Structure 1
Amino acid sequence: MSYLFETYNRKNIQIKQAKGTLVKDEHGKSYLDFIQGIATCNLGHCPDIVTAPLKKQLDRVWHVSNLFQNDLQEKVAEQLVQHSAGDLVFFCNSGAEANEAAVKLARKHTQKTTIITFEKSFHGRTYAAMAATGQEKIKAGFGPMLPGFHHLSFNRLGELDQFMDDDIAAVMLETIQGEGGVIPASQAFLQEVAAFCKKKRALLIVDEVQTGIGRTGKAFGYQYQGLSPDIITVAKGLGSGFPVGAVIAKKDLGQSFSPGSHGTTFGGNMLAMTAANATLDTIFQKSFLEAVKAKGDFFQEELKTLLQYPLTKDIRGKGLMIGIECIVPVQPVIEELQSEGLLVLSAGSNVIRMLPPLNVATDELIMAVEKLNHVFEKAKINHTEENFFSLR
């Protein structure tokens, strides 16, 4: 009997030990982990560069609340500001909290209520974040959503101009839709969004919860398109697996988050800031980001061997955030890969998502490609039933 809500379709293994890219289950079997806590352990599991300062901080102070000065918050905020388009930072505990805060900030600052987001987007599971998300399966059964959110087609040019409402507080988007299928936004689409925001005097919110903190080979994914967002949300990789999120915003929005207007008990606590500071010290180095981009380019090139199989439709992504789109649901393939010692996850029903640590070794990428090729070679497709295939 389990005392847990069954809110997760859990894998049939328990991870008992983890270091770097490798994890071991309760039976001692080793796996290449290309999930990494869903893009949170960007430096791999238990990185020494983060573990050491965390151990020291554990003996000093864990948490005192935001009623006191916190120089660790200042250090992390400075790093985020220096490597982004923002000027001010608010710390919280997760990506959903960061997106909730971003919605509150946009509405309060503009004194408008409408937020435009996009189909297949994912922004979290709290009420505003869920309302912002463009996937009905996330909202099913929870009753009326928070009003004011409108979902348009992602990457479709011209649709924004047909939206005549002037009560637009913000447009909120991911530069690569993660949960929606690892779908990159086109340069033309993002430039159209930026122009629309300027025309409507609306804020541009970029959700970098999964794409941020080096995942794409830049500090933030939006930097490939030369955007200058008003608000950026981050979490996941910010603390190397330690729970932490943040909102980064331009300085003219500062007046709208005045004392008492927003807050959090645990956000920005000493342990979270210690983990984030050590993480950013490494990831925001120019040489490190260049290495992530090079590894991502190499990995995608190696993965093109999968295109020889009838199961595979497309390979896409940026840096070390990669999706393999298949013509059928991929869950059986993911299970077979697990038996082969490679842990991956889905992004929607038909996409295998690959999120290795950013400091993954080249030979580990090659090993993953070999395992993928082995499993895809075994896949036999029944063309009379489009949604069925077996692995033998």
Structure 2
Amino acid sequence: MPASPRTARAINDRLALQLLQDEGPLTAGRLKELTGLSRPTVADLVERLTAAGLIEVAGEAGEQRRGPNAKLYGLVADRAQLAALDVRTEGVAVRVSDLVGRVLAEASAPIAGDIGTGPAVEQAVTLVERTVKEAGADRLHTVGIGAPGLIDPAGGELRNSIGLPEWHRRLVAALQERFPHARVSVENETNLAALAEQREGAARDRDTFVLLWLGHGTGAAVVLDRTLRRGASGGTGEIGFLPVPGTGGLPSAADCEGGFHSLAGSAAITALAARHGLTARAEGEEPSGAAVVREALAKGAPEGSPPFLFLDALADRIAIGVASVVAVLDPGCVVLAGEIGQAGGPELAGRVAERLRRMTPLPTEVRPSLLGGTAVLRGALLTARESAQGELFGTP
């Protein structure tokens, strides 16, 4: 049954808006080429979307030709403002953008673990308010939050997690109260990092991959057939609890010590480096493990040297976790992400890949992150943009 004229117009509008989101400003002629629609149909939808305040003239095409240059049409960027938060155990980072993702303001601040839940929440909310004011955003449309811990797949709420501060869970409700007109949502930080690497980073050409987060702690995110998989309880990728040899114990339901976290978390990597005579000072709030990896690579790693032996030992540890994931999921690609994955770069990824080839018959690429510690903020902003655009533009 053919679509009604109204349904056809809605489908064409969504297609044009999606193209403008993905490609940036386009001429009517280029929209015609990309959509396959007729010139009159494109002219109608441009007029309709302009009248609705969804698109506007963003400039002119630079083509040299007789007569006036063609107009470029783009999304109305100031139709809504968005905020993204990267919530860590030790602090929070905020980024505010317009509807097309242009960053208007950003800030970060440490939050001491001993100040209490109420003061910690107030400090985080005040940082968001100050950043929003600096951005000139009069009314936030959507707030996307990335946080450690499990997200309830049914209600989308951050579940109470042992070892994580209580202010994380209180922050979502506090932001909703302070910004009552905004949509506030929370997602696991590693999942957001995977979405960012899929859209803007190392996994842009992969439909299926696993992201291994190496930062203060460890985590993983699983993307299968371009879909993020969360699991029955929201716990897919809690690789810190993976029992592995070499830790001298086993993890428990309340503590991941003895699991993969004890091999590849920042504190474990720093201790491993110290045993090889390597130390380094971390910059700002970065994990100390990232600093020692970067220092080892800066020193150079001739065979048999302490940096060489340290990087070899670290690759051995990481490969244990990667091989376990590969044996179960066969993703074909693993991205080493987080501050430590980014610090190790192609050198560390290559060492892990070499070990993986000896440990599994399943061919698997190991790639370094291209986004590093910024991936969570980028992922939170991407999800906020998609949510806002879906509501404002009627896109699925």
TM-score by length of 1: 0.30
Q: Which has the larger radius of gyration?
A: 2
TM-score by length of 2: 0.30
Q: Which has the higher contact order (CA 8 A, sep 6+)?
A: 1
